[in-house]
A and B are shown apart, each in its own frame.
Chain A
């Protein structure tokens, strides 16, 4: 049992921190990058590719680096810290994760190779309007005619869906179960819009749209989709952790520098104590994030699902607590779009609602409380 990074991991962290910080340490550049579609900086996407970050999760055969979940999590934390808008989580972890888990060797080499090289952006489209974090394919149906597949239905919201060159769409199969399909972005009717944190999502309307099955045609991929979603949740929690760390740091900086009534704010004990409570939330969330991240490589699919629920719940609660208190302890300045703290709170809200709300995870955990005695941290 070991909660520390090794030297290679530390080096990766420094490299990503350097690259992300160079781009977005000045918050105004983040604001500029998200002002218009596609909601991120294409040049920075290319730099991430050059550094090898976009291929981290994929095997060398697929054009990637073959790094483990700890490395991926660490990248997410660093990107979260500066609210980097590049779609690493949506495109690499989620959509790329689906391709890696379900694609044929050819599909993997093609899509993941180009993704790793920064040549394309992928998106995963698995949510139907009104849908709530389920792995079934409600809302889109697949039809087959000979070897030709088509999809019909609506997916909304699809993070980065309008910019994606290829979209990985889940759909109900004619013989039951859920399949995954590669759809050309240009073949879909897409409506782009901004979410409240400046990131982009889209509505995708499919109407007999040509689609290529990912992997073996007709195979039910529900469990694969569920596990990749769970991994994405855990990585989203890593990203949220980075956001919260930055918020706690910004808040303590502000309290020690901002003056009111002729003294710095850290003269006021009530504010300091609330900052202490933020730190407690942060550390507890951090622990579950590390644990869940390690579970990805060391646990079963059920363990990963359990870890995703646990970290999802904890990080959602911590995100509300820290995100709200960070604004409150700053006061008005943090209400503005010009300052990172409030936008961080917006980003935490978007991550939570995209990947799974607290009550969703709590309900799933509640259903299982009778299945065990105490929850054991060490297997």
Chain B
């Protein structure tokens, strides 16, 4: 079999070897607890400070506004639950969208069970949030708007600055789940009016199990994990030094290479989209044609089921993923694809290919050829397809 072609960078990414190099000393050599008094551990505290500065600088934030967490899901849970806790006297209404990641949606359901009301905004056929509906959903008791920066399935980017402006105008906090966007597209918290922002290390060639929540100074924030005095007493737990160093290094590298990377990836992505749309009939591109993450392509092939397609791609050495239900342990078809209006059976035949900075044109060519064969084979087995 050919070399592995990894086109699932939205699921997770390879740790950049430079990032791993930066992490390595902190496992078995400089392993001290950053809270310790002795000199042996003070370098570790310093390493965390540097990582925090790296991350803050990219966002145009102050280092004291960055709180490291155990990942993107924790950051999302924290942002929503702590805001609910701190502002419930003001109101119990939250606005989000139908296409958020489950870390947001399931947290909202939890908050609903605790007496909060949540408005789930619709999106148009491209996955863009309806600003008019957002505006008219705002109530006097609305305490939080949470809209993701870019969608993890279809890559669509939201009009974040516009939402930020509206939120500010109305005096409502604005959180964005930027797990897919941070490190890949420019984000400036001040210009965009973002009050809280979640990100995760493993989506930007950093390590798994570490992320952060940006919290603007002045936002009332409660702890989510209570205990020790780490992270300005806001997030307890011995710091994951290698993880934090890895995240900081990855963020720095991503910021330095962002422009060039985005240009290269979006060019290859466009090439992939063009070929697939032209050469495979009954195919739909999901997500916005231009306002999408540079590395994201998402197709629906009519009459074809997603998991079967993934397994056949796997046999051809290609890693992709699907909006298909079967893949995630849940059996419901992707809520994102349903929200952009796809019927069940088409949502079920979706394929997400997300490029990395090492993806080549040759790989794309190979993938397109294989995809053509696979879609044809599955269609010939499909009771829905008559040719």
Partners in one complex: no
State the A residues within 8 Å of B (CB): none
